[in-house]
Amino acid sequence: MTEKEKLPEELYGVLAELLNRKSNIAILDSIRGEYGVLNSLYDTEQGASAGELCRRLHVVPGRMADILKKLEEKELIVRTRDEEDHRVVKAHITEKGRQLSAERRTEIRYEYRGLFEILGADDTKELIRLLKIVLSYYPEQNEY
């Protein structure tokens, strides 16, 4: 078998090992769960509808409804009707939600500090660049 034939299998194996680690499964759950919603709302004043959040986070509508309900119960978001289209309900992060999101961002920086120290700034930027290329190779098939 040539190197060109071996590389796809090796890449697949490395990606599978990386993605299937317990810590990464927890990260994916976090990204697509409550923290993902708070993080999506963190930098926006206009809020976002459930549909917009589903598309951003690749979450089915039923799961998003559950997440939004829990966040609202915890007073981390509020939902209001859109002023221009009263059929649309938008989620907005509260100050309590903003504080929790900021704390989680700090935790993420701490969690990845070791990796960044090993790679250094240039290799970290290169890894991000390469991962963006990988993501563009696999366009989303299912839009929610």
- pLDDT one-digit tens code per residue, 68-116: 999 999 999 999 998 888 899 999 999 999 999 999 889 888 888 888 8
- Does 22 reside within a domain? no
Predicted local confidence at residue 144, as pLDDT: 46
Q: What is the pTM of this model?
A: 0.71
- Does 1 reside within a domain? no
Q: Residue 140 above 70 pLDDT?
A: no
The span from the CA of 109 to the CA of 123, in Å, is 17
Amino acid, single-letter form, for residue 101? S
- Does 12 reside within a domain? no
Q: Residue 35 above 80 pLDDT?
A: yes
- Does 6 reside within a domain? no
Range from 4-8, 89-93, 123-127 that averages highest in pLDDT: 89-93
What does the mean pLDDT of the chain come to?
Answer: 86
Q: Residue 6 above 80 pLDDT?
A: yes
- Does 143 reside within a domain? no
Predicted local confidence at residue 142, as pLDDT: 47
Mean pLDDT computed over 114-131: 91
For residue 98, the domain's CATH number is 1.10.10.10
Sign of CA dihedral 66, 72, 77, 82: positive
Count the domains in the chain: 1
- Does 21 reside within a domain? no
- Does 20 reside within a domain? no
Closest CA relative to residue 32, chosen from 24, 22, 43: 24
Q: Which domain holds residue 79?
A: 32-137
Q: Residue 128 above 70 pLDDT?
A: yes
Number of CB atoms found within 10 A of residue 93's CB: 25
